């Protein structure tokens, strides 16, 4: 049967490539969040609520995968991505004193530097469209990014690329329904390509939401 999508892989990876040495390719947060097939995430944001868990990420069948613990008042620099059972997957902390709006992402509920997984920052200060650079924890010099995010948050059309290549690892799409408008929900979906850590992609969506909030506030 003809496949409906053509997936791009970073050079030297993909179904026909030999398995890389060491950990599974694409694992950034945890191997259980990597699948050998595309994963579609649905993001539902309830726009008119102040309670925890107003940001939910489900699979295509509506099963809860992740939820976001929003910061309490006075602690706006930290958000936690939880799994369906409420266990912290990653903690996202914004560095308030930063030239390029920098976020650090840590394993579990930690904010210790030894648990740093990756850093995300705007590629430039002035942007008409969202452009973020992602640096994995071992990339200390940050001369070349490991992943890039480009697109328009307002149009829900962001794309995540591997490094500085054109290889796409995830794409965001608007999911607009009459029901979502009446219920005050902002629905969109993200297609995560095979062998890409979808917890990592989910955390980038949370950071994109944070960027959008700050831009609107400004």
- pLDDT (tens, 9 = 90+) of the chain, 218 residues, equals 443 333 343 444 443 333 333 334 578 999 999 999 999 998 887 654 444 456 789 998 889 999 988 765 555 578 899 999 999 999 998 876 555 578 999 999 998 999 999 999 887 666 567 789 999 999 988 889 999 998 876 667 789 999 988 999 999 876 655 444 444 456 788 999 999 999 999 999 888 877 776 655 55
Question: Looking at the whole model, is its pTM more than 0.85?
Answer: no
d(CA 131, CA 138) in angstroms, rounded, equals 22
For the record, the structure tokens of 137 come out as 């924890």
Q: Quote the pLDDT of residue 73.
A: 53
Angle at 103 between CA 25 and CA 21, to 5 degrees: 15
Q: Quote the pLDDT of residue 45.
A: 73
d(CA 152, CA 163) in angstroms, rounded, equals 19
Q: Quote the pLDDT of residue 218.
A: 54
For the record, the structure tokens of 109 come out as 């509920």
Q: Which residue has the tokens 């390029």?
A: 100
Do 56 and 71 touch, CB atoms closer than 8 A?
no
For the record, the structure tokens of 217 come out as 């506030």
Query: 122 pairs with which residues across the strands?
Result: 132
Angle at 100 between CA 172 and CA 57, to 5 degrees: 30
Q: Which residue has the tokens 């509506």?
A: 62
Dihedral Cα 178, 183, 185, 189, nearest 10 deg? -40
Q: What DSSP string describes the chain?
A: ---S------TT-STTSPPPSSSPTT-SS-GGG--SS-EEEEEEEETT--STT-EEEE-TT--EEEEEEPPPTT-TTEEEEEETTS-EEEEEEEESS-TT-EEEEEETT---GGGEEEEEEESSSS-SSEEEEEEETT--S-SS-SEEEEE-TTTT--EEEETTSS-EEEEEEE---HHHHHTTEEEEEEEEPTTS-HHHHHHHHHHHHHHHHHHHH-
Give the chain's largest Cα–Cα span.
Answer: 54
């Amino acid at each position: 049967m003809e496949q409906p999508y053509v997936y791009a892989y970073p050079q030297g990876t993909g179904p026909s490539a030999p398995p890389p040495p060491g950990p599974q390719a694409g694992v950034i947060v945890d191997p259980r969040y990597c699948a050998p097939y595309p994963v579609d995430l649905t993001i539902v944001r309830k726009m008119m609520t102040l309670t925890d868990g107003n940001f939910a990420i489900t699979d295509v069948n509506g099963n809860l995968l992740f939820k976001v613990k929003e910061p309490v008042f006075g602690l706006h620099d930290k958000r936690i991505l939880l799994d369906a059972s409420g266990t912290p997957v990653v903690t996202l902390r914004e560095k308030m004193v930063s030239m390029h709006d920098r976020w650090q992402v840590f394993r579990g509920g930690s904010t210790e530097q030894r648990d740093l997984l990756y850093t995300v920052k705007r590629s430039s200060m002035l942007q008409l469209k969202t452009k973020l650079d992602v640096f994995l924890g071992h990339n200390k010099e940050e001369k070349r990014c490991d992943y890039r995010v480009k697109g328009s948050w307002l149009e829900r059309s962001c794309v995540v690329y591997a490094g500085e290549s054109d290889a796409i690892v995830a794409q965001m799409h608007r999911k607009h329904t009459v029901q979502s408008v009446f219920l005050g929900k902002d629905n969109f979906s993200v297609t995560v390509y095979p062998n890409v850590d979808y917890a990592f992609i989910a955390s980038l969506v949370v950071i994109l939401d944070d960027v959008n909030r700050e831009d609107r506030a400004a």
